[in-house]
Amino acid sequence: MTEILRHPIVLKKLQTEIRGVVGRKEEISEADLEKMHYLKAVTKETLRLHPPIPLLVPREAREDVKIMGYDIAAGTMVIINAWAIGRDPAYWDEPENFKPERFLDSSVDFKGHDFQLIPFGAGRRGCPGIAFAVASNELVLANLVSKFDWQFPGAQGKELDIKECPGVAVRRKIPLLVIPSPLP
């Protein structure tokens, strides 16, 4: 929500898409979510910039390998930095900017096959709850965006502090405070 509210053009595009697909229906279905391509792009971009667990669980190298000129011996503990990978300029144009449009014509996904976007890990050790987590988040976000307009009581858009706190899962350092206005 923070990134969407910081970028009013993204919010407006998202509202237009969701309200266009859903209309005046009371409930958003999974079939509706499948038609929301911009919502999926916003989800991917959010997970790229704000992975839920930025440093993935340590892994042990199974064999001797050479990566980017570094020799890594079998048995070495390796920690994957998903946060840094999501901001790597070798993979991303303007990596610090929130641009969901980058995913509209892209096949890159977060399911563990595209290693430039791994908020849930990759391979055999990827998170088994990816589908549930993403569907839940998309459904909640679609409902929040389609049924409400949002106003700030204090800081506006780009002024919002987006610092994060580490922990088992990442969270905002300062809670997001906004006022929802139900649609008539």
* Integer CA distances (angstroms), 111 to 59, 119, 122, 125, 152, in order: 18, 9, 7, 11, 34
Q: Which two tokens stand for residue 181?
A: 């206005």
The identity of residue 143, as a single letter, is N
- C-alpha to C-alpha distance for 143 and 124, rounded to whole angstroms: 33
**Binding site annotation covers 165?**
no
Whether residue 162 contacts residue 3, with contact meaning beta carbons closer than 8 Å, is answered with yes
Q: Which of 87, 129, 89 is nearest to 112 (CA)?
A: 129
Q: Could you tell me which residues are annotated as the binding site for heme?
A: 127
Q: Could you tell me which residues are annotated as the binding site?
A: 127
